[in-house]
């Protein structure tokens, strides 16, 4: 692994968080917690899997 690549990863340039739209409230948000199995809308708290549309 090159030094440049290491730096890029350190600052997150190579990583684009997956983006989703909540169909319940229309809020678009990035999901940036890969350690969590599931997530919910930060706007309305909706956690219905079917209500999220992937934008990425």
Choice from 19, 21, 24, 40 touching Zn ion (CB under 5 A): 24
Residue among 28, 40, 27 at smallest CA distance from 49: 40
Q: By CB under 5 A, which span of 9-17, 29-37, 39-47 interacts with Zn ion?
A: 39-47
Specify the pairing of strand 28-30 against strand 19-22.
antiparallel
Please select the residue that binds Zn ion; options are 7, 13, 44, 55, rule is CB under 5 A.
Answer: 44
CA-closest candidate to residue 41, choices 24, 54, 55: 24
- Binding residues (CB under 5 A) for Zn ion: these are 22, 24-25, 27, 41, 43-44, 46
């Amino acid at each position: 692994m090159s030094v440049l690549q290491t730096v890029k990863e350190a600052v997150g340039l190579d990583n684009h968080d997956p983006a989703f739209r909540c169909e319940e409230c229309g809020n678009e948000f990035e999901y940036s917690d890969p350690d969590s199995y599931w997530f919910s809308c930060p706007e309305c708290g909706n956690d219905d899997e079917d209500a999220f549309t992937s934008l990425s």
